[in-house]
Amino acid sequence: MLYGKTVLITGASSGIGAACAERFAEAGARLLLLARRRQRLEALSHELHVRFGTESRLLICDVRSRAAIEQALCELPPEWLRIDILVNNAGLARGFAPLHEGNPEDWEEMIDTNLKGLLFVTRAVLPHMISCGEGMVINIASIAGREVYPNGNVYCATKHAVRALSEALRIELNGTNIRVVNIDPGLVETEFSLVRFRGDTERARKVYEGLQPLTPYDVADLVLFCATRPPHVVIADVLILPTAQANTWLIHRNPSPATPPSVPAPGD
């Protein structure tokens, strides 16, 4: 399906990024796996090679560092420089508080990762795509990029910015044969809440309690579907939710002794 194509996935060491890597590997693509955690990337790369014979290279760097991204890409062999599909997946949330009680260091981490990181990687990859006359950029944003929720202020702002950048790119790249896709997931059970609550497993567990959230593979299947449309088709903007979620704040939860049905939870 994607034999001979090169796919760069950011935030590939876990969650949606790792699931995307598996789906693209199964489809025959070769992979550039970018993340900070070397051991996880090495384990993923080995698994994909054993299962699918996938050829992959690891880019061990932080998307917040423009210099590190540029260096990692410059060190690639020439035959890896043509990137056909970029999946901007790296992102996180930190904290869950009203703006006037928020931690500015958390704000900076979210802005640097979710927004500036996406900009740095896209800026480094796009010139090669333009010179090749084709390509695809898939931005993993969030339902939080469509509507805000209490205490999600800065995270929501970064995801609104990602959605705006997707629209701007689609306009700027019109006529280049480069397609831009924006995907907005709702609740997906990953490390997202564990990161947001800084390792508080009980608090993170409650976010997904009483419902069946999306899995990383649900989103990865959608990413692959978008990536495999014929050249004249672009799935420009998609919202994917678990059936129990109507929007960022209206989530149906099955009653249980541990979780009353009225307990709220943020959308991803």
DSSP class per residue in 119-176: HHHHHHHHHHHHHHT-EEEEEE--GGGTS--TT-HHHHHHHHHHHHHHHHHHHHTTTT
What ranges make up the beta strands (E) of the chain? Answer: 6-10, 30-35, 56-60, 85-88, 135-140, 178-185, 237-240
Could you give the CA distance from residue 100 to residue 151 in angstroms, rounded to a whole number? Answer: 10
Could you give the CA distance from residue 201 to residue 184 in angstroms, rounded to a whole number? Answer: 25
Pairing of strands 56-60, 6-10: unpaired
Is 217 catalytic? The answer is no
User: What's 99's DSSP letter?
Assistant: G
Let me know how long the chain is: 268
Which 3 state secondary structure label does DSSP give 4? coil
Could you give the CA distance from residue 140 to residue 110 in angstroms, rounded to a whole number? Answer: 14
Other C-beta atoms closer than 10 Å to the C-beta of 93 total: 25
Show Cβ contacts of residue 147 under 8 Å, excluding neighbours closer than 6 positions: 156, 247, 248
| Catalytic hit among 149, 155, 208, 217 | 155
Two tokens, residue 84: 């056909």
Residues carrying an active site annotation: 155
